[in-house]
Structure 1
Amino acid sequence: MDSNMWLAKRWWLIPVAIIIVGGSVAVNLGHDGHVDAGVVGRVLSVVLAAVAAGSLLLLDRCPALLLVTGAASGGYFAVGGENGPIFFALIVASFVLATRRPFRSWFPLLVVAAVLIWAGLLVRGLRWDDLVVGAWQSIGIGALVSSAAAIGTMLRQGRAAWVDRTSRAAAEERLRMAQDLHDGVGHGLAVIAMQAGVALHVLDKDADRSGKVRESLEAIRATSREALDALRVELATIAGEAAPRRPATGVEAIPALVERVRSAGLRLEVIGEPGELTPPVGAAAYAVLQESLTNVLRHAAASTATVVWERGADTVALRVSDDGQGGAVQDEGMGISGMRSRVEALGGTFRAGPVPQGGFEVSAVLPA
């Protein structure tokens, strides 16, 4: 931990150390006190208090200094130091370590440090009254140290849980952006490839059909622009730049999607309508339909696809099937797993796989 980071996180230890040292000077050198320690003992007590306070400032770098805190505090009492702010040294030390490190890594050090302080308290005075007071003070310090360690541990665990939640949310957001990028750009590039194939085929077969070629090339241009716009927005977001978020595409864009796929040369039959859907459900339905048709264009080698919408009392079902070379799903990849996560996040059900009569079918049931 560099000095700037330490100052930002542990600045409060500086006034604590000043209070411990200043208070020890006041109670030991400011008046006679009730413990007959002599001048040398009082001066030595102040020095040991300064050592205990100084160890607090370095605990982040070296947890073993907790033994120095305990030894200096115990020595303070053993040479006859007066009661004062020195009691806070071990309490603060246990709190500092509890907020930074797992409990089991410093607990043995804390036990040894506590024993050293208790020993110092018990031998400070040889009279019976002093022994009784020292025993009660030892119990009090033990309780306060335990409380400080418990509070520090809870703060550390709470901070770790917050970091975990933040990291998980960031990972989920990156996955969402990757899925959006995959859905939008993958679909656009698939249509571009199909349109380019149609244009080249027409040019090879019939050079006079320039109108069909122009139509295909215009579709390529429009689709490529949409795909590149989507790519720029998502990449800018991933890079942390300020970029306008595109509104989620919903059911209103489904007719254009159908026409775009048909223009790529696929015979597409649509049965039923999705009807009115809430924006989240509409966005999920569009994403499932787009990814399903993209997979038909890219992988199925199909000539015909069918889209079926079925409205229930409180659900809407979507089925996309084709007559291509369907096969068992070995690896769902980002496309199918993305569709599944979108549907299940809304409480729906999803299935994708080959059908007995041949081809492949994607089925999603969403809350309407």
Structure 2
Amino acid sequence: MDVISVRRWLADGLLAAVLLVFGLVTTRFAAQNQPGATPLDTVSDVLIAVAAAALAVRRRWPVVTLAVVTAATTAYLNGDYAYGSIMFCFLVAVYTVAAELPLRPAAVFAGAALVAVSVHAFVPFDGDPGIAGLAPAAAWVVVPFAVGATVRLSREATARARLDAARRIADDERLRVAQEVHDVVGHGLAAINMQAEIALHLLHRKPEQTEAALTAISRTSKQGLDELRATLVAVRRGYDRTPMPGLGQLPALRERLADAGLPVFLTIDGTPPEVLPGVVDLAAYRIVQEALTNVLRHAGAANAEVTIRYGTETVELEVTDTGIGGAPSHHGTGIAGMRERATALGGELTAGPLPGRGFRVHAVLPVAGS
């Protein structure tokens, strides 16, 4: 039995005990104001005790609890005892059924309970029916039933909201994983593809230079696999436990791209903060990585220049190249992924061709509050 179940049992047991003592004590005061009622005796005390004790299992067996409390209350009322605290037990039982069961079966059980406790209004059967007694009996059913049904609907709405939130978080996590894998694998495969083309081109003309291209392929694939493995470990454990790529690894990225045939010039403007938020550092690195991967894929023979500008509240990234330029493709996900990374942090990203030749990716990421 878990902690929540234990707490519920204890709470219901305490409620039953309180209503038992309350019923036995206060009913005697109520009887003093109802001189026409049957004097309280052992039978009345037993009925009050049974109704109160049944509430100890009200959330475990709500229908059984309502049946026992209704039977005890009906017998009590038909005995013409004074109206008293036993009605609070009946109220709690009706509320519990409405709060714990679906609306339709709860309404059926509550209706049956109403019929049962209303019998006393027609006793004795050879006399005039006490129609006036139906209104109080109905109130003891309708009011707690309405409250219980409202509580149940509110609880279900809260559960649905939590489920929807969990689904959104899971969807966001899947998109994040997909973006990470896309950036890692896409970059590595683009570099390997470029080196493979170089190797095929040199295979017959300059076979002695093919070894360098194959070595670069081997090195790039190993680095890509290591980074993919680190990314998947980070996804399983969380970013706080596994170091993720950041702007400090741009020199290594530049070397890998140089091996793949893309010269990259790196410029740092300003002083990096002592501690750059991890999400900003990772997003900045991935944006630069994806931008350079696009240069490698689409720009043809080109050089690239990366400029990092550190401000007091932002990090500014600019990647330009001297390639063929042109409008970005609408079929790829690279630019869209970069823009999503930027906007998720409250920043912005623009990408487009430069006048004449070349392409430019520019992003501004806020540092404060990340």
- TM-score after normalising by structure 2: 0.66
- 1:321-355 alpha-carbon deviations (Å, 9 max, x no partner): 4523633442453x333322221122111123445
Given that residues 347 and 366 in structure 1 are in contact (C-alpha distance below 8 angstroms), is that contact kept between their aligned partners in structure 2?
yes
1:227 corresponds to 2:224: yes
Q: Evaluate the alpha carbon distance shift between residue 326 and residue 133 of structure 1 in structure 2; reply closer, same or farther with a 3 A threshold.
A: same
Alignment of 1:102-113 (within 5 A): 109=108, 112=111
Output the CA distance in 2 between the equivalents of 1:81 and 1:260: 94
RMSD: 5.2
Q: Evaluate the alpha carbon distance shift between residue 111 and residue 322 of structure 1 in structure 2; reply closer, same or farther with a 3 A threshold.
A: farther
1:164 aligns with: 164
Q: Evaluate the alpha carbon distance shift between residue 58 and residue 342 of structure 1 in structure 2; reply closer, same or farther with a 3 A threshold.
A: same
2:345 aligns with: 346
1:281 aligns with: 280
1:268 aligns with: 264
Query: What secondary structure, in the 3-state scheme, does the structure 2 residue paired with 1:327 have?
Result: coil
Q: Evaluate the alpha carbon distance shift between residue 186 and residue 115 of structure 1 in structure 2; reply closer, same or farther with a 3 A threshold.
A: same
Gaps of 5+ in 1: 1-6, 27-32, 37-41
Output the CA distance in 2 between the equivalents of 1:88 and 1:182: 62
Query: What secondary structure, in the 3-state scheme, does the structure 2 residue paired with 1:208 have?
Result: helix
Output the CA distance in 2 between the equivalents of 1:319 and 1:153: 54
2:335 aligns with: 336
Output the CA distance in 2 between the equivalents of 1:122 and 1:332: 77
Letter in 2 for 1:306: A
2:28 aligns with: none
- 1:196-234 alpha-carbon deviations (Å, 9 max, x no partner): 322332332212336xx33x3333223222222233344
Output the CA distance in 1 between the equivalents of 2:300 and 2:92: 74
Q: Evaluate the alpha carbon distance shift between residue 134 and residue 248 of structure 1 in structure 2; reply closer, same or farther with a 3 A threshold.
A: same
1:319 aligns with: 319
% identity of equivalent residues: 31
1:362 corresponds to 2:361: yes
Given that residues 76 and 120 in structure 1 are in contact (C-alpha distance below 8 angstroms), is that contact kept between their aligned partners in structure 2?
no
- 1:230-284 alpha-carbon deviations (Å, 9 max, x no partner): 333444566x6899953121111011111211210124344x3254151332221
2:307 aligns with: 309
Alignment of 1:1-368 (within 5 A): 88=89, 91-92=92-93, 94-95=95-96, 97-98=98-99, 101=102, 109=108, 112=111, 116=115, 119-120=118-119, 122-123=121-122, 135-136=135-136, 138-209=138-209, 213-214=211-212, 216-235=213-232, 245-270=241-266, 272-273=267-268, 275=270, 276-277=272-273, 278-279=276-277, 280-298=279-297, 300-309=298-307, 311=309, 313=311, 314-315=313-314, 316-321=316-321, 323-324=323-324, 326-331=326-331, 333=333, 335-355=334-354, 357-368=356-367
Given that residues 55 and 66 in structure 1 are in contact (C-alpha distance below 8 angstroms), is that contact kept between their aligned partners in structure 2?
yes
Q: Evaluate the alpha carbon distance shift between residue 125 and residue 325 of structure 1 in structure 2; reply closer, same or farther with a 3 A threshold.
A: farther
Output the CA distance in 2 between the equivalents of 1:109 and 1:149: 13
Output the CA distance in 1 between the equivalents of 2:280 and 2:114: 64
Given that residues 195 and 265 in structure 1 are in contact (C-alpha distance below 8 angstroms), is that contact kept between their aligned partners in structure 2?
yes
Letter in 1 for 2:160: A
Q: Evaluate the alpha carbon distance shift between residue 136 and residue 228 of structure 1 in structure 2; reply closer, same or farther with a 3 A threshold.
A: same
Output the CA distance in 2 between the equivalents of 1:202 and 1:141: 90
Given that residues 66 and 93 in structure 2 are in contact (C-alpha distance below 8 angstroms), is that contact kept between their aligned partners in structure 1?
no
Letter in 1 for 2:177: M
Q: CA deviation at 1:168?
A: 2.2
Q: Evaluate the alpha carbon distance shift between residue 251 and residue 95 of structure 1 in structure 2; reply closer, same or farther with a 3 A threshold.
A: same
Output the CA distance in 1 between the equivalents of 2:201 and 2:108: 80
Letter in 1 for 2:268: E
- 1:96-148 alpha-carbon deviations (Å, 9 max, x no partner): 554565xx7678658855754674464457899x8767644543444333333
Deviates more, 1:68-77 or 1:159-168: 68-77
Given that residues 321 and 359 in structure 1 are in contact (C-alpha distance below 8 angstroms), is that contact kept between their aligned partners in structure 2?
yes
Output the CA distance in 2 between the equivalents of 1:342 and 1:304: 26
- TM-score after normalising by structure 1: 0.67
Q: Evaluate the alpha carbon distance shift between residue 139 and residue 224 of structure 1 in structure 2; reply closer, same or farther with a 3 A threshold.
A: same
Given that residues 98 and 145 in structure 2 are in contact (C-alpha distance below 8 angstroms), is that contact kept between their aligned partners in structure 1?
no
Given that residues 14 and 57 in structure 1 are in contact (C-alpha distance below 8 angstroms), is that contact kept between their aligned partners in structure 2?
no
2:41 aligns with: none
Output the CA distance in 1 between the equivalents of 2:68 and 2:146: 16
Q: Evaluate the alpha carbon distance shift between residue 323 and residue 72 of structure 1 in structure 2; reply closer, same or farther with a 3 A threshold.
A: farther
Output the CA distance in 2 between the equivalents of 1:108 and 1:356: 74
